[in-house]
Structure 1
Amino acid sequence: MNGLLHTACRKAKDFEHAILRVYKELDATLRTLIPTKSVVLAFDGPGPLAKLLTQRKRRNKSSKASKYKLSGLHITPGTKFMQTMREACEYYAALRLVASAKFKNVAFYISGADVAGEGEIKIIEWIHNLLQNQNDEKIIIVGGDADLVLQGLAVLRVKDLFVYAGKDMSQHPSSRKAKGKSSPSIVLSMWEVVRSLERLFPGQSQAVRADLIVLMIMNGNDYLPKVRGGSFESFFRAYKKVKAMIGVH
């Protein structure tokens, strides 16, 4: 949800306007990705120390030169705005459940900024809890964070798991085209990623899947700095060379 909030705040005049923009984005997302059982809305809550240090640096920069009409500093656990946003999403869910027949059998789960953990981590934990009872579900995680791919690879027992990095779906396609701002959506299937790994490394895809997670972590994230002098592409090229050498010997 935090990525959506930042998008909403960039053009919002005040809290109320930001909430309306969030509603618009949620409606557009649920029109594109029609849920049949569950919708999980997870906000970033207080993070571990490593993430808090990163956030503090970002907040300091933002306070000096904010690029938002409504300051991005409001999107911080513990602020009145985040409390209001959680309540607004609860109202949104209740209204859709009552007013729309297509949500008749859909359950909404909302985790506010008062609950510790990043939104992406909360969703992965929710998936793991779901898998205790069933593993034949089709799940789509919506977000633009590259870490979602890493976390998706770590979920082993779901075949139909997708990461959706959507465009600004609240705009009509014709308006985006007219402005020359075409931004196609990206849907990444974790199953197809594993199949691609199997083609590259026959019979080793599950082990390579775990190695790939490590390579992505080496590229840096909110908790660990990037390994200097490298990129994921260079790490993966070196990895393939090492695998080839091991295969020869």
Structure 2
Amino acid sequence: MSEHDIFLAIFNYVAHLFSVIKPQKLFFLAVDGVAPRAKMNQQRSRRFRTAKEAKETLEKAKRRGEEIPEEEGFDSNCITPGTPFMARLSAQLKYFIAKKVSEDADWRGVEIILSGHEVPGEGEHKIMEYIRLAKAQPGYNPNMRHCLYGLDADLIMLGLLSHDPHFCLLREEVTFGPRGGKGKAKRCVRLWIASTHEPACGRVC
């Protein structure tokens, strides 16, 4: 995929999540920033391993005589805070939000917050910090409903630690064909209640 196609896919999926959640007051979009020092070492080793595996895969394909595309493939290691790719992504996200607010009435009715890669901390922790600060403000509505989307497993613990009675997690579930059999993969969005870990409201595919 080209960088242009990647940005379009991101925008389409953000818009899809917005339509699924239907926020009424606030939509917080957080991009991972610089991680704590303890996790930097893990991320560095993961990126070195990814680069090594990509090089080995390319060499195996050449030995088998497979046709190699002339253009360079997308290097996922550029998805790192501080890289030119992330700077372009932040600029494109700002443009996307401004465009949706100006054209879509549903987006104009809520407050939109974008926390880019230049803000330190992982995305889910930045969102939880915002929720904790909001709860500390006078006049906070204890019946406020929160919905957090993400693929990391620690979102379950973060949701429980919020001690909020109305906290939902939005997770993806990939199923292969009918009842897990062989077939085309289908991506579904499944709603989980953080306090019980049991699915609710079914799926939106």
Structure-1 separation of matches of 2:8 and 2:40: 29
Note if 1:21 corresponds to 2:9.
yes
* In structure 2, C-alpha distance between the alignment counterparts of 1:183 and 1:96, rounded to whole Å: 25
Cα offset for 1:62?
1.4
The 2-side partners of 1:183 and 1:112 are apart by 26
Q: Deviations over 1:180-207 (max 9, x none)?
A: 324443322123359xxxxxxxxxxxxx
Whole-angstrom distance in 1 between the partners of 2:186 and 2:4: 29
What is the distance in 1 between the residues matched to 2:73 and 2:154? Answer: 27
Aligned partner of 1:98 among 82, 95, 102: 102
Q: RMSD of the alignment, in Å?
A: 2.4
Asked if the contact 2:82–2:117 (Cα under 8 Å) also holds between the matched residues in 1, the reply is yes
| Alignment counterpart, residue 110 of structure 1, candidates 106, 114, 124 | 114
Residue 35 (structure 2) pairs with residue 47 (structure 1):
yes
Structure 1: distance between partners of 2:161 and 2:172? 22
Structure with more of its chain in strand, by fraction? 2
Task: Provide TM-score, normalisation by structure 1.
Answer: 0.64
What letter is aligned with 2:30?
Answer: A
| Residues 86, 112 of structure 1: 8 Å contact kept | yes
Distance change (3 Å), C-alpha of 1:78 and 1:149 = same
Aligned partner of 2:145 in structure 1 is 138
1:162 partnered with 2:155: no
Matches of 1:41 and 1:24, distance apart in 2: 14
SS of match in other structure, 1:70: coil
Q: d(CA) in 2 for partners of 1:128 and 1:69?
A: 41
Structure 2 alignment gaps of length 5 or more: 58-71, 175-182, 199-205
Offset at residue 90 of structure 1 (A): 1.0
Determine which structure has the larger helix proportion and give its number. 1
Residues 1:151 and 2:158 are matched in the alignment: yes
Q: Within 5 A, what are the aligned runs for 1:61-210?
A: 61-66=49-54, 69-133=73-137, 134=140, 135-156=142-163, 158-167=164-173, 180-193=184-197
How much has 1:59 moved relative to structure 2?
0.7
Distance 1:70 1:167 in 2: 25
Cα offsets for 1:140-198 (capped at 9, x unmatched)? 00011100001111101x21101110358xxxxxxxxxx5324443322123359xxxx
Tell me which residue corresponds to 1:217: none
1:60 to 32, 37, 48: 48
Name the SS of the counterpart of 2:120 in structure 1.
coil
- 8 A Cα contact 2:159 2:195, kept in partner: no
Q: How many residues align?
A: 173
